[in-house]
Structure 1
């Protein structure tokens, strides 16, 4: 059955869906890379697994797959510039990384030092669907902070919603 939904209609509708802004990083034998993504979500909690969608036209696709690992860094409202750089405003990867402080993780990945949360993942599957690769990763480690307001993307703009951070009690 053919869809009656056009690409433009779908993209406009998805712009109305609020999503957290994340910088996805990788570091390994193939090199260091990173991109901005709003398409990230949990898959299951046993084992802890999440997925990230990455444009298949990205020159970094092979890098992420060859490294076999990635780190999802959930951004705060203070990270608008970093989000824009990793979205492609800054082409040079070293310049992108130079805009923030990064911590080396036991896996070899790097986490944004002041991210709200960082999920260090081992790539378990990469699947091409349409224009994007779905990267599925088992979460091997988590870094969390209790303050900060999440940077969100809605209506093609960065927004934030103040919350009572740390209220989950764990």
Structure 2
């Protein structure tokens, strides 16, 4: 019989996986919220869909579920402080938002003005798995910029890995 992988062993292994740093926002009838996440990935391109994971103990879970929408804002190295703020270093939501410039999207969500890319999503499914909610969102709008590099998280630290070719058009 195989031994179970411990929580610590799994977390230490996942720390060795590089991931982009994102601020996930929501705005709607339930109010405005936001958190920092590295657990985000595409699901399919037909229809364009991605997923985000949020700790189920977060007091904001209800906001995201009730609003039925969220926006994934991919950060740059210049956003390190903002990432920390939305990760909980700043408990006041209005102060978190006051620390950056935002644009309102047609959905009502807030997109970070200078994010590498912002994916505006309609929540199509929320599922609890273990300690986290998985929010699946159909992408209804995309804002992106042509320059800059993504802020990454690796070995429990923010890192910046510049590319030689930069972004490509599509």
TM-score (norm 2): 0.97
Matched, 1:23 2:23: yes
The alpha-carbon distance between structure 1 residues 3 and 87, as it changes in their structure 2 partners (threshold 3 A), is: farther
Matched, 1:105 2:102: no
Aligned residue pairs total 169
Once the two structures are TM-superposed, the CA of residue 3 in structure 1 deviates from its matched residue by: 5.2
Give runs of ≥4 in structure 1 deviating > 4 Å: none
Specify every segment of 5 or more residues in structure 2 that has no aligned partner in the other structure, as ranges.
none
Taking the aligned partners of 1:49 and 1:169, their CA distance within structure 2 comes to 20
The alpha-carbon distance between structure 1 residues 128 and 2, as it changes in their structure 2 partners (threshold 3 A), is: farther
The alpha-carbon distance between structure 1 residues 93 and 11, as it changes in their structure 2 partners (threshold 3 A), is: same
Taking the aligned partners of 1:71 and 1:2, their CA distance within structure 2 comes to 40
Residue in structure 2 matched with residue 14 of structure 1 by the alignment: 14
CA RMSD of aligned residues (A): 1.0
Once the two structures are TM-superposed, the CA of residue 165 in structure 1 deviates from its matched residue by: 2.3
Matched, 1:165 2:166: yes
Residue in structure 2 matched with residue 142 of structure 1 by the alignment: 142
Equivalence map 1:122-141=2 (5 Å): 122-141=122-141
Taking the aligned partners of 2:18 and 2:39, their CA distance within structure 1 comes to 11
**Structure 1 residues 57-102: Cα deviation after superposition (integer angstroms, max 9, x where no partner):** 0000000000000000000000000000000000000000000000
